Each structure stands twice: as C-alpha cells, then as structure tokens.
Structure 1
Amino acid sequence: MLKRGIVPVFAVAALSFASCGSGAAEGEKKEPVTAGNENVAAAPVAANALSDDEKSAGWKLLFNGKDLDGWRVYKGKDGKTWSALDGTLHCTGSTTDKSDMRGDLISTDQYENFELEADWKLAPQGNSGILYLVTEEFDAPYMSGPEFQIIDDNNFPEKLEDWQKSGANYAMNPPSKLAAKPIGEWNHTRIVVNKGHVEHWLNGEKVVDTQMWTPEWEKEKATGKWKDYKGYGTAKKGHICLQDHGSEIWFRNVKIKPL
C-alpha cells in the first residue's frame, strides 16, 4: 500500500502481459521421497497443492487454484477485479477504473497465531500487499491490519520511503534488506505471527522481526502514519487480506498453518 486513492500508471503494460503470466510449471516443487536409506527421484508437487509432509504438519491451502472458494471481497462488496486465472489468484490492474467495484479480498476464516506462505508476481510499477489480523469494522482493511508491503521498488512512479518498500511492515518497520526479485519473476513471502511476534520473510530472507503491543510498538504507531487510526494493529485475530490497489498482481501457493 502507498496512499489510498493513488492508482499506479503502467507505462509498460505490454511487458506485464508478456512477463507476468501464470507460469504454472514454475509452481511445481519437489517432495523428497526415500526408499530404505537411499534417496530416489522426487515426485513433483503441483502448484496450489500440499505435500504429504505439509498436510501432516497442519498446513491448509487458502487457494485451491480453481476458484475463489474461501475468499470474499471486504465487507461483502460485489467486486469484479479478482478471479482464478490459469492456476493463479489474479487481480486486474487499471489506470482508469476507480469504481466501487474494486475491493480488497479477504479470507472467509480468521486466524490468530499462524504461519502464512504465498508466491506472488507483480506488474511493472505495481503496488499491493498482504494484510493480516484484518477486521471489518472500518472502511478499509489497512485501518486494522498490518501489511506485508509489495511494490515495484525500482520503477514505482513516486519516491518511496524505506518503510514503503517490498517486505516492509508498511509504515511501521522498513525491510532490513531489499530481497524482491525483478519484476516479471515470482517471489515467495512468508509471514509468521505468534502472540504478537511478527516476522516477514521474502525469498528466504528475514526482512522484518518485530513485536506488537510493546511500548516501542505503541510509540511507533502514535508518531507515524497510524496515529489517527486507533484500531490499527489492535486485533488479536482477523482475516488474511490481499490488497487491490489498482495494480495487476498474481498469487499462487497461498497456504497457512495455525500455530
């Protein structure tokens, strides 16, 4: 998220279609298989599926790769921008569509302590995010839920502060390093929330490690962007949210493990 109401301009829209397709084959992962004491060829696990080890560990798919089962638009809006497309959870981008048919997508279930993983691919000059602990008593999800920022760090058409860059805990904690891959490539996000302890991981790098509800956290909230949003970060349980910021973005392999 950057500012609400700002819709990025896609100066290279053609590139986004050429380089940001679903790439289903890329989503395959290898599940180790052993026979006795010898390793044998690992069987591929399709995108939007769980390995046997993940199932045993308690992981749950949040996106089945086929439809929006388990998701709805924030506050029940009749949104039109989200769909299941070629094995991805896809949000359309637009430089002109500012209608009330745009909306953020939230999980139907709520989560308290969890580990969340997702792969994402962003269009050029794009801006989006993954929010968590989101509640619905406010006008927008960002008024309650912290956000794992997703943005085109190198080509966004406005100057970015460090706390606006990919992997940041938006407007609270800047990422310790820039770990996003070039636009057009898939990225892997991991978010851990456990009794207020929050970790943001991007492509295997831990970029945020912070503790909510401490005096330091309260001071950061009171002196920054959220000083006028009393409900920000107060919920102990809430929805997972994928942000529609007017940018085209693709998600896949979205899964969660309650802790």
Structure 2
Amino acid sequence: MLLAATLSVPTLAADNVLNNEEKAQGWQLLFNGSDMSQWRNFKKADLSDKWQIEDGAMKLAAGGGGDILTKKQYQNFELLLDWKIAEVGNSGIFVLVDETGNTIYAHAPEIQILDNERHSDNKLATHLSGSLYDMIASPASSHKKAGEWNSTKIRLQNSKLTIWQNGVQTAEVTIDSPEWQALLAASKFAKWDGFAKAKSGHIGLQDHGDQVWFKNIKIKELN
C-alpha cells in the first residue's frame, strides 16, 4: 500500500512583526499593522485622516494627506520597508528629513517610488523607482509593475548611503564625497541651500497626490 506523502508547505512570515532574530539584532518596528502612532505630518503634531490602515498596510487614501515623517530622528541606520504604488502613481521615501525648510524634500534625499510605465515622470532614468532621485538611476532589474509589492532597503552609516530595491543594489554613495558633489552639481538640487547637510533626521514618506501603501517598516540603529 502506498502511503500518502505529507508535503511541507513553507509558512510565510507575518507582516509587521519582528522575529526573534530581528529582536536580538536590535530592529524596531515603525508600523505594527494597527496604528500609526510613530508618525506625524510634516511640521505638525498629528496625522491626517487621509493616511489610513488597510489590510495591515499604511495607505495614503487620497491626495491632501500631506507628507509624513517619523517622530524620532535617526543618524546611522538600516531601514526596511515594503511599498506598493497605484497605477500612474508617484511617491517617495526621504532620509535625513529636517523641518527647517518649507517642504519635506527641501533638504532630504529621496528614494523614488513610481509607476515606471505610466507616470509622466518616467522620462529620466534617475526618476524611476529605486533611484536616488535625480542623482543615481536604478537598474531595470530592480523594477516591478505598479500594483505589485516592492521591498526597499536603505542603509545610512557614517554618511555612506546604500539603497536596494527588490534585492538589487540601486545606489551607493557617500554624502559630501567628491562623487556626491559631482552628482549634486548635475542635479536639480545643485543650488538648494542645506540639501543633505543634516547629520541626522526623520524618515519621511511622500504624499504626491496618488494612492500608495507601506508595510513591514522596520529600522535598526547602527553605530
């Protein structure tokens, strides 16, 4: 008699939780799937109700919710998050956010989020998803279609900024190095006073008027 074999089906990791290894390594959740208490709007104490929770994800339901940032500031860190953009959508992830300028992006480098196929900001390679916006272009192998979940990893340590999207490294540069200065001089930020000068700052998420979702947002502070 043949005995039925029992197939072992791998268990998918639950969203918005830390496993024991991550806890031991010092990771902290910036979103637990049920509240957004670690976030607030740029230059405000509270959070717009257009930033909502949907199926365990932070969602910008409609434009006008405003850019948001972490309540805490970070200097050396590794950040992980998953994101999904609506069709024809645009958004972004900011690092080293300060609130001395008029906008969240006045001084903060941006990692682009975009529907690369449909959004009008797709004409320049440095404006596609995963790029260090207007400075370093992401490779096509890191891209996914709008509506699919993407994974972003950002490490900032001793001013060295490294970015990965969907497991592919998309940028690596040391802020204020000669390479950085050359990239900056060729970008739209060349004459933006104070751009990327902060040594620490908030993590920011952009309201570009389009629906966007974020989950599994976790951070580990580095020495």
Q: If the length of structure 1 is used for normalisation, what is the TM-score?
A: 0.78
Residue 156 and residue 86 in structure 1: after superposition, are their counterparts in 2 closer, same or farther (change >3 A)? same
Q: CA deviation at 1:159?
A: 4.6
25, 37, 43: which one pairs with 1:69? Answer: 37
Q: Shift of residue 67 of structure 1?
A: 1.2
Counterpart residue number, 2:192? 229
Tell me the residue number matched to 1:184.
Answer: 147
TM-score of the two chains, using structure 2 as the length reference:
0.90
Tell whether 2:42 aligns with 1:81.
Answer: no
CA–CA distance in structure 1, aligned partners of residues 178 and 21 of structure 2? 39
Q: Secondary structure at the match of 2:183?
A: helix
| Range with greater deviation from structure 2 (105-114 or 70-79) | 70-79
Asked if structure 2 preserves the Cα contact closer than 8 Å seen for 1:226 and 1:232, the reply is: yes
Distance 2:48 2:185 in 1: 33
* Deviations, residues 107-139 of structure 1 (Å, cap 9, x unaligned): 000000111000111100100011011000001
Q: Which has the higher helix share?
A: 1
2:15 is equivalent to residue 52 of structure 1: no
| In 2: Cα distance, 1:177 partner to 1:233 partner | 26
Q: Say which SS state the counterpart of residue 167 (structure 1) adopts.
A: coil
Distance 2:120 2:23 in 1: 42
CA gap 1:162/1:74 in 2 versus in 1, 3 angstroms: same
- Residue type of the alignment partner of 1:242: L
1:90 to 2:53 alignment: no
Partner secondary structure for residue 228 of structure 1: coil
Task: Report if aligned partners of 1:130, 1:240 keep a CA contact under 8 Å in 2.
Answer: yes
Q: Indicate whether 1:131 and 2:56 are aligned.
A: no
Other structure's SS at 2:71 match: strand
Q: Which residue of 1 aligns with 2:3?
A: none
* Gap change, CA 1:217 and 1:126, over 3 Å in 2: same
What value does the CA root-mean-square deviation take over the aligned residues? 1.8
Find the counterpart in structure 2 of residue 153 from structure 1.
116
SS in 2 for 1:109: coil
How has the CA–CA distance of structure 1 residues 159 and 61 changed in structure 2, closer, same or farther, with 3 Å as cutoff? Answer: closer
Cα pair 2:130 2:164 within 8 Å, conserved: yes
Q: Show the 5 A alignment for 1:152-231.
A: 152-231=115-194
Question: How many residues are matched?
Answer: 214
Percent identical among aligned pairs is 38
